């Protein structure tokens, strides 16, 4: 199958939105891993006065992680799928959290403007047609020295990582998704991970996009070698250093 992109992918997520929370809740550590990645941004403990962009927020799991870890931060949560965003926005949020429907490639048109102190992207970048272009946009939205956190399925490079991922998808995820009527989306999920960067290559992609102090950090449990947190800072320009 061809990977889903743009409007087709958003439509698939629209359809999957009704059962998405139940499916991810069956993944051991899903929510705690998002909170761990949010903490790895290394922001001040309460996040008081900070402005954070949650890019690709889905039904709000990443938003909840950020809100828990940074209870004083203002969070702008963005997603391209109207169905996923509707589910997210219907939950109980403090006033400092706002939701915007927009693709990662169309933030300016939707009125999403920087500077942000941090951008967090969970399970997003392997799903966009041009991840380098999105990273360029993200860099432009960050304040000088601003933090980037990416929580993503990126295989570690060992054959065992790919084998475990394939077994979990074919044995557990895809059968459950088929029952829910979302088999096409989760076939895309499996292939998008296998065909995307390894952890090492993705870290190099971040450095090439103008981020410094980039680190690829593993997550525990069955996802070790499959899911990583990537953290980095927007590289300052000479003019910014002089200012």
Task: Please write the tens of the pLDDT for every residue from 31-65.
Answer: 999 999 999 999 998 999 999 999 999 999 999 99
Whether the predicted pLDDT of 238 surpasses 70: no
**Mean per-residue pLDDT for 1-17?**
91
- Burial (Cβ within 10 Å: 0-12, 13-18, ≥19) of residue 2: exposed
Whether the predicted pLDDT of 243 surpasses 60: no
Q: Residue 237 — pLDDT band, cuts 50, 70, 90?
A: low
Whether the predicted pLDDT of 235 surpasses 90: no
Q: Residue 3 — pLDDT band, cuts 50, 70, 90?
A: very high
Whether the predicted pLDDT of 240 surpasses 90: no
One DSSP character per residue, 75-105 reads EEEEES-HHHHHHHHTS---TTEEEEE--GG
Sheet holding 116-122, edge to edge: 97-101, 74-79, 51-55, 116-122, 142-153, 227-234, 211-218
Q: Rounded mean pLDDT of the chain?
A: 94
Q: Which residue has the higher pLDDT, 174 or 226?
A: 226
Reported pTM: 0.94
The predicted structure's pLDDT at residue 88: 98
In DSSP terms, 74 is beta-bridged to 51
Q: What is the DSSP letter of 206?
A: H
The predicted structure's pLDDT at residue 41: 98
Give per-residue pLDDT as tens, 184-210.
Answer: 999 999 999 999 999 999 999 999 999
Q: Residue 242 — pLDDT band, cuts 50, 70, 90?
A: low
Whether the predicted pLDDT of 180 surpasses 70: yes
User: Could you tell me if 75 and 54 are in contact, meaning their C-beta atoms sit under 8 angstroms apart?
Assistant: yes
Question: Structural domains in the chain?
Answer: 6-242 (3.40.50.150)
Round the CA-based radius of gyration of the chain to a whole number and report it.
17
Whether the predicted pLDDT of 239 surpasses 60: no
Least confident of 136-140, 141-145, 186-190: 186-190
Q: Which residue has the higher pLDDT, 75 or 181?
A: 75
């Amino acid at each position: 199958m061809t990977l889903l992109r743009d409007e087709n992918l958003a439509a698939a997520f629209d359809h999957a939105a009704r059962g998405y929370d139940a499916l991810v809740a069956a993944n051991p550590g899903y929510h705690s891993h998002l909170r761990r990645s949010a903490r790895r941004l290394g922001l001040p403990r309460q996040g008081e006065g900070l402005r954070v962009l949650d890019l690709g927020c889905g039904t709000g799991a990443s938003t909840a992680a950020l809100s828990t870890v940074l209870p004083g931060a203002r969070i702008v949560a963005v997603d391209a799928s109207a169905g996923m965003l509707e589910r997210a926005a219907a939950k109980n949020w403090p006033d400092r959290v706002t939701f915007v429907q927009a693709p990662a490639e169309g933030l300016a048109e939707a009125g999403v403007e920087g500077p942000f102190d941090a951008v967090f992207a969970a399970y997003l970048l392997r799903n966009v047609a041009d991840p380098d272009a999105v990273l360029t946009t993200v860099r432009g939205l960050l304040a000088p020295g601003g933090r980037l956190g990416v929580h993503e399925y990126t295989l570690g490079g060992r054959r065992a990582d790919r084998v475990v991922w394939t077994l979990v998808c074919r044995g557990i995820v895809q059968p459950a998704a088929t029952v829910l009527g979302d088999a096409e989306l989760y076939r895309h999920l499996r292939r998008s991970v296998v065909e995307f960067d390894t952890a090492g290559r993705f870290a190099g992609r971040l450095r090439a996009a103008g981020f410094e102090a980039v680190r690829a950090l593993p997550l525990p449990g069955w996802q070790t070698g499959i899911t990583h947190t990537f953290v980095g800072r927007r590289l300052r320009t000479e003019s910014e250093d002089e200012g």
